Chains A and B, each alone.
Chain A
Amino acid sequence: MIEPDTLPEAWQSELRACLAPDEQLIAWLELDLDDHLDFRPGLVALTDRRLIATGENDTSWKTWRLTAGLKLAHHDHAGVGTLELEDEQGRLALWRYTLGHSPAALRFEREFVRQRDSVASGQPPLPAPAAICPICQMQLQPDEEDCPNCFRELHTPPSTWTLLRIWRFAKPYQGQLIAGFLLTLAATAATLVPPYLTMPLMDDVLIPYQNGTPIDPNKVAWLLGGLLGSALLAWALNWARTYILALVSERIGADLRTTTYEHLLKLSHEYFGGKRTGDLLARIGSETDRINVFLSLHLLDFATDVLMIVMTSAILFSINPWLALVTLTPLPIIAWMIHLVRDKLRTGFEQIDRVWAEVTSVLADTIPGVRVVKAFAQEAREAQRFREANKRNLEVNDRLNRIWSLFAPTVGLLTEIGILVVWAFGIWLVSKDQITVGVLIAFLAYISRFYTRLDSMSRIISVTQKAAAGAKRIFDILDHVSSVPEPVNPVTLPPLKGGIDIDKVSFRYGNRAVLHEIELAIAPGEMIGLVGHSGSGKSTLVNLICRFYDVTEGAIRVEGTDLRSVAIADYRRNIGLVLQEPFLFFGTIAENIAYGKPDATRAEIVASARAAHAHEFILRQPHGYDSLVGERGQSLSGGERQRISIARALLIDPRILILDEATSAVDTETEFEIQSALNNLIRGRTTIAIAHRLSTLRRADRLVVMDRGRIVEIGNHETLMASEGAYWRLYQAQTKQLDAPPALGENGSSP
Chain B
Amino acid sequence: MKPTASPFALTRNGFGRLVLTDAEGLAHEGIVPVRAFGITAPDYGISLMSADGKELQWLETLDVLPADIRSLIVAELAQREFVPEIRRIVSVSSYATPSTWQVDTDRGTTALILKSEDDIRRLRGRDNAGALMIADSQGIHFLIRDRLALDAHSQKILKRFL
The answer to whether residues A602 and B44 also contact, given A624-B37, A626-B38 and a CB cut-off of 8 A, is yes
Candidates A591, A602, A628, A632; contact of B36 at CB < 8 Å: A602
Does A603 sit at the interface, judged by CB under 8 A?
Answer: yes
Whether B37 lies near A625 (C-beta < 8 A) is yes
Is B38 a contact of A616 with CB atoms below 8 Å?
no
B60 with A616: CB separation less than 8 A: no
User: What is the 8 Å Cβ interface bit string for chain B, positions 46-74, against chain A (1 contact, 0 not)?
Assistant: 01010001110010100000000000000
In whole angstroms, how far apart are the Cα atoms of A591 and B122 in the complex?
Answer: 13
- Residues of chain A contacted by B60 (CB below 8 angstroms): 603
Find out whether the CB atom of B40 lies under 8 angstroms from the CB atom of A590. yes
Structural contact, A615 and B55, CB atoms closer than 8 A = yes
Residues of B within 8 A of A618 (CB): 36
Contact of A619 among B34, B40, B121 (CB under 8 A): B34
Answer whether A606 and B121 are a contact pair too, CB < 8 Å, given A590-B37, A616-B53, A624-B37.
no
Q: Which of A602, A616, A620 contacts B37 (CB 8 A)?
A: A602
How many A residues face the partner with a CB closer than 8 A? 20
B129 touches A (CB below 8 Å): no
Contact A616 B141 (CB under 8 A): no
CB distance from B39 to the nearest CB of A (A): 4
| Min CB gap A415→B, angstroms | 42
Contacts between the two chains (Cβ within 8 Å), count? 56
- B17 on the A face (CB < 8 A): no
- Asked whether B34 lies within 8 Å of A591 as measured between CB atoms, the reply is no
Report whether A626 and B37 are in contact in the complex, using a CB–CB cutoff of 8 Å. Answer: yes
CB neighbours of A623 from chain B (8 A) = 35, 38-39, 141
Complex CA gap A606/B60 in Å reads 10
- Judge if B24 is at the interface, Cβ distance under 8 Å: no
Question: Would you call B55 and A616 a contact (CB within 8 A)?
Answer: yes
Most buried by B among A588, A615, A624, A632: A624
How many Å lie between the Cα of A620 and that of B45 in the bound state?
Answer: 14
Complex CA–CA separation, A105 to B81 (angstroms): 72
Is A485 engaged at the interface, CB distance under 8 Å to the other chain? no
Contacts of B35 in A (CB 8 A): 623-624
Q: How far is the CA of A312 from the CA of B38 in the complex (A)?
A: 69
Question: Chain B contacts of A590 at CB under 8 A?
Answer: 37, 40
Least Cβ distance of B63 to chain A in Å?
Answer: 15
Q: Does A587 contact B (CB under 8 A)?
A: yes
Docked complex Cα distance between A620 and B124 (Å): 21
Interface size class of B (residues with CB under 8 A): 20 to 34
Q: State the Cβ distance, A266 to closest chain B Cβ, in Å.
A: 24
CB distance A626 to B55 under 8 Å?
A: no
The answer on a CB contact under 8 Å between B49 and A606 is no
State A360–B36 Cα separation when bound (angstroms): 45
Asked if A622 is at the interface (CB within 8 A of a chain B CB), the reply is yes
Question: Which A residues are in CB contact (< 8 Å) with B34?
Answer: 619-620, 624
Q: Which residue of B lies closest to A615 (CB)?
A: B55
Contact A626 B53, CB 8 Å, known A587-B124, A591-B124: no
User: In angstroms, how far is the closest chain A Cβ from the Cβ of B101?
Assistant: 20
Q: What is the CA–CA distance of A628 and B133 in the complex, to the nearest angstrom?
A: 10
* Interface flag for B75 (CB, 8 Å): no
Say whether A619 contacts B37, CB under 8 Å.
Answer: no
Please state if A616 and B49 are interface contacts (CB–CB under 8 Å). Answer: yes
Q: Nearest Cβ in chain B — how far from A38, in angstroms? A: 62
Contact indicator per residue, chain B 117-138, by CB within 8 Å of chain A (1) or not (0):
0100101100000000100000
Q: Determine if A622 and B141 form an interchain contact, defined as CB atoms under 8 angstroms apart.
A: yes
Distance of A632 Cα from B115 Cα, bound (Å): 14
Using CB atoms, name the residue of chain B closest to A618: B36
List residues of B (69-123) whose CB comes within 8 Å of A's CBs: 118, 121, 123
In the complex formed, the residue of B with least CB distance to A632 is: B118
Judge if B41 is at the interface, Cβ distance under 8 Å: yes
CB distance from A591 to the nearest CB of B (A): 7
CB-nearest residue of chain A to B47 = A619
| In the bound complex, CA of A602 to CA of B46 (Å) | 12
A157 to chain B, nearest CB (A): 41
- Nearest-CB residue, chain A, relative to B35: A624
Most buried by A among B36, B47, B49: B36
Question: B residues within 8 A CB of A622?
Answer: 38, 141
Interface string of A520-535 (1 = CB under 8 A from B): 0000000000000000
Neighbouring B residues of A606 by C-beta, 8 Å: 36, 45, 58
B36 & A624 in contact (Cβ 8 Å cutoff): yes
Instruction: Report the minimum CB–CB distance from A627 to chain B (whole Å).
Output: 8
- Asked whether, in the complex, the Cβ of A620 is within 8 Å of the Cβ of B53, the reply is yes
Cβ–Cβ < 8 Å partners of A587 in chain B? 124
Chain B nearest Cβ from A632, distance in angstroms: 6
Measured between alpha carbons, how far is A712 from B34 in the docked complex, in Å?
Answer: 53
Interface residues of A in 508-547 (CB under 8 A from B): none
* B139 to A, closest residue via Cβ: A622
Note all chain A residues with C-beta closer than 8 A to B58.
Answer: 606
Closest to A587 in B: B124
In contact, B55 and A625 (Cβ under 8 angstroms): no
A606 to B36, CA, bound (A): 9
Bound Cα distance A741, B133 (Å): 53
Given the complex, which residues of A lie within 8 Å of B36, measured CB to CB?
602, 606, 618-619, 624-625
A615 proximity list for chain B (CB < 8 A): 47, 55
Please name the residue on chain A nearest to B119 by beta carbon.
Answer: A632
Residues 613 to 641 of chain A near chain B (Cβ within 8 Å): 615-620, 622-626, 628, 632
Taking the nearest CB of chain B, how far is it from the CB of A449, in angstroms? Answer: 40
Instruction: Please name the residue on chain A nearest to B44 by beta carbon.
Output: A602
Bitwise, B12-38 to A at CB < 8 A (1) or not (0) is 000000000000000000000011111
Query: In the assembly, what is the distance between CA of A628 and CA of B122, in Å?
Result: 11
Smallest beta-carbon distance A616→chain B, Å: 5
Chain B positions within 8 Å of A628 at CB level:
121, 133
Q: Give, as a whole number of angstroms, the nearest-CB distance from A605 to chain B.
A: 9
User: How far apart sit A625 and B60, CA to CA, in the bound complex (Å)?
Assistant: 14
| Chain A residues whose C-beta falls within 8 Å of the C-beta of B55 in the assembled complex | 615-616, 619
Q: Mark A562-595, 1 if CB is under 8 A from B, else 0.
A: 0000000000000000000000000110110000
A602→B45 contact, CB < 8 A: yes
Closest 7 CB pairs of A and B: A623-B38, A626-B39, A624-B36, A619-B34, A625-B37, A619-B47, A625-B36
**Chain B interface (Cβ < 8 Å from any Cβ of A):** 34-41, 44-45, 47, 49, 53-55, 58, 60, 118, 121, 123-124, 133, 141
Question: What are 26 A-B contacts defined by CB distance under 8 Å?
Answer: A588-B123, A602-B36, A602-B41, A602-B44, A602-B45, A603-B60, A615-B47, A616-B49, A616-B53, A616-B55, A618-B36, A619-B36, A619-B55, A620-B34, A620-B49, A622-B141, A623-B38, A623-B141, A624-B34, A624-B35, A624-B38, A624-B45, A625-B36, A626-B40, A628-B121, A632-B118
